[in-house]
A and B are shown apart, each in its own frame.
Chain A
Amino acid sequence: MLPLWPGMLPFAVAYAVTARAAGLSVFDTCLMSLTVFGGASQFAAAGLFAQGASGLGIVLTTFLLNVRHVLYGLSLSRDLALTPVQRLTAAQFLTDEAYGVVTLEARQDPSKRTFAFLLGAELSLFTVWNLSTLLGALGGEVLPSPEALGAGVIFPLAFLGLLVPLLVDRLTLVVALFSGLLAWGLAQLLPGGLVVLVAGVAGALLGAYFSTRRTPEAQA
């Protein structure tokens, strides 16, 4: 899990600084890391709080961002046999990173197809994420005002950091450009939370349409 930590630490600190700049308390900032525990959705929520988006818009955007976790669960539960209690526990700490590491390792080494290995991977990420959040939330106290620091630009930069590795072919690039420009256009007409939902769903539908139409056999 060690190689993932250097990536998580600045991201969690940046999330905490953005959340504090958006007006969330230290308690709320840390509570979100403890409960939601999802980098992208926490960052999105912090940005939407800053834009003054509605609570409903923030919750729906979170849902849209995290509904992909259904896929991870589906895939993991084929590799690992879990009891109902283990599922309740593992679900709280499941992330993109934990899924990625566990499926990779479990394919290379079948002895790692256990609940203990999954939970260990999940908890090590959870610990780093929450300590870094606390660090950023408290560090934000002693720093000058977020505007003076230019903290606003951290938000798009962090999302670029998540997006660029996903742009693996022409279709992903087209989808990203489409939804980004659509969101920019819609931003003149609709409130923030809604823009992300509409452009996000439209882009994903576009991607699903072209990828399943173009290579139906690759989806099996």
Chain B
Amino acid sequence: MDWTWFHRLGSPRWFYEKSSVWLPYLWVLTASLLIAGSVWGLAFSPADAKQGNSYRIIYIHVPAAFLALAGYYVMAISGAVGLIWRIKVAELTMRAAAPIGAVLTFVSLFTGAVWGKPTWGTWWVWDARITSMLILFFLYLGVMALHNAFTHEETANKASAILALVGTVNIPIIYKSVDWWFTLHQPATIKFTSESTIDPSMLYPLLIMVIGFYALYALALILRTRVEILKRERRTKWVKALALGSA
């Protein structure tokens, strides 16, 4: 098998130049999906029979939580690729993914608390789902802190990649927590193996928001990786030329 594309992807300069081409399309895609999804979800989809309008926070809560989990795999897999093949871009992607994941986890915890108050009657409860999600938040912060704790970059990449890999255990725990234990949080609504228990008129905008959040995640990841590339390659000729050219 020809592996040149894989090695080319690993070149920071190639990634930077290629992603400049992708970015405008990704901006348009992200903005249109998020605007369409939120307008449909907040203004046009019907109110819930039991919860009324407060259920609409689902259109932020669920996509943010999805990406907080998926983003962890992005971070851990980039960490593993960086660890095994020493591919620079993968190491930088891992660094870039940590704060994005932390923000998404915070958003899902925060919107969950805001949603919990009117529906459950409490902001916070230490059930398995919410606690494991809080652990995910600390894992993201831990990866960031560990990376910053080392002055030597290679050691920092190695250590934080291993922490990220160990933390992957938490993802299936979060996902299955509502089925394995008695929790206050309800089981999953969107199911992959059977029919989802949400009316289609509410499901479609939710799916658009989920895809929109995936696009937003890709956008944020590429933007942050580009910043990391420029920081790391600041002494190379091509970055200097780029800085002088745009100045």
Are A and B co-members of a single complex? no
| Residues of chain A having any CB pair with chain B under 8 Å | none
